[in-house]
Chains A and B, each alone.
Chain A
């Protein structure tokens, strides 16, 4: 079943800086919010500046009742820099919901997020209605505002930072083997830098636990037409991150 996708102007309700170069945007897009699933994304059109293409941003939340989408993003280039200048009351055109999201059937899920990859897992944590735990990693305590956002959504929060300024010192996956060895998690959901997802997928595979990963690629249309975001699958096929993903079973892509 494929629900219709929409392109619509949404009014920005809130827009705040929540970390170094990191922003949380709340936009009113009821028709998109109603259909959105964890792991999906929207393509936003930033009218400011001379930018042509839309920018794909993952959904950190979609609230069907309130008709809102939450986007959490880091300023990494011209598009996100222009987005950061938007004010409440401004409109932003959103195209979505796009892509194939996470499966939400696990009984005891472990979410694993690195850096901005922690953002889309918020929506997933909400869908698991308190059943999930999360392992999250970032560069330093300064950008680890995430525990406050996950507090009420998950059972346990495990934290790593590269510099050890919060939680365990090391990369996100440092804690993964021991968490999976405890044997209570039945599925792992990973979003973060590719190298970290590859590593997490290998650890999950060794532990015999199913794993889904959310990929990121440059894209133009977001609809499966332009083929900018093609990837190779392990069985030699070409797939599109925007349409067949961004979420894939780990063994399909790593």
Chain B
């Protein structure tokens, strides 16, 4: 197929072939999906949440299906920043994809340390995970307090020249306040939403289904919430917004673009169809072509009220 530029976009200075990215924790390090799609045709691959030291994650049951969704409590299992830099990053270079590294710290300083370590060739940007609901220390606290979110953002910015994206939690009263705090602290982009905190109980054993008792809800069931939050946030900030939450089709993705997202990220849908991200990209292209729209940027925030 001849390359067209309808989908080409630039986000926080990163040239992207498509506005369709894949969300952290749902796409491994990209390589797991190489049999199913052209990774370089994606806007970016946001790799598994990385911490300073390796993490073994949570024990017990880590996922359960829910109506039109799923709960997970993986607990940030990852090999740690050193292993990522030494083993994984060199290995995935050959896919020529924009690699965005999602980082999680238990202190403000750790975000700075990680940002500095990852300021290397081959990393396109850094996404700050301040919204993981499944780890006890850090994580969510930075995502629910605007001052803490700003502190983490500023610290990361001080330690890297890479674009810094803050990933917001939906588990807050006022998402706009969080987004504004991140923007003021220098975030180059904002991504939202992370999972909604949820729970499931096995009524036979009368115990929680998940080993961690609570977990993050994702999938089509959270899409309306995500779309509303993306719409609110995109109106309130100048920096680009990356929309995610339950996107499973090109139609879903286009809704987010119209609501003001400059790019979208595919999460849980990757588990259902490992080739879905590329199909969504193609679907957006078809939508643009049929309407004679020359570039995807023209529909970003084009919602008519």
Contact = CB atoms under 8 A, between A and B. Distances in A.
Given A225-B27, A226-B74, A218 B274 contact: no
Contact of B274 (A7, A52, A53, A227): A7
A225 B270 contact: yes
Contact of A226 (B65, B72, B220): B72
A51 B65 contact: yes
A221 B270 contact: yes
A227 B57 contact: yes
Contacts of A78: 65
A50 B65 CA distance: 10
Chain A interface category by residue count: 20 to 34
Given A52-B70, A225-B28, A226-B26, A220 B35 contact: no
Interface string A1-40: 0001111000000000000000000000000000000000
Interface in B1-58: 25-28, 32-33, 35-36, 48, 56-57
Interface of B is mostly: loop
Contact of B62 (A95, A223, A230): A230
B274 A221 contact: yes
B219 interface: yes
A54 interface: yes
B271 A53 contact: yes
A52 B275 contact: no
A131 B270 CA distance: 41
Interface residues of B, number: 32
Contacts of B268: 52, 220
B272 A45 contact: yes
Interface string A64-106: 0000000000000010000000000000000100000000000
Chain B CB within 10 Å, residue with most, of A219, A220, A229: A220
Chain A CB within 10 Å, residue with most, of B26, B32, B68, B70: B32
A52 B220 contact: yes
A226 B294 CA distance: 36
A251 interface: no
Contact of A220 (B57, B67, B70): B70
A6 to B, nearest CB: 7
Interface in A143-187: none
Contact of B35 (A4, A45, A238): A4
A7 B277 CA distance: 14
A224 interface: yes
Nearest to A220: B271
B95 to A, nearest CB: 14
A171 to B, nearest CB: 23
A140 interface: no
Contacts of B35: 4-6
Contacts of B77: 227, 230, 238
Interface in B251-294: 268, 270-275
Contacts of B274: 7, 95, 221, 223
Interface of B: 25-28, 32-33, 35-36, 48, 56-57, 61-65, 67-70, 72, 74, 77, 219-220, 268, 270-275
The 5 closest A-B pairs by CB, nearest first: A225-B28, A228-B63, A220-B271, A225-B32, A223-B32
15 contacts: A5-B35, A7-B273, A45-B273, A50-B67, A51-B65, A52-B68, A52-B219, A52-B268, A53-B271, A220-B268, A226-B28, A226-B72, A226-B74, A227-B62, A228-B72
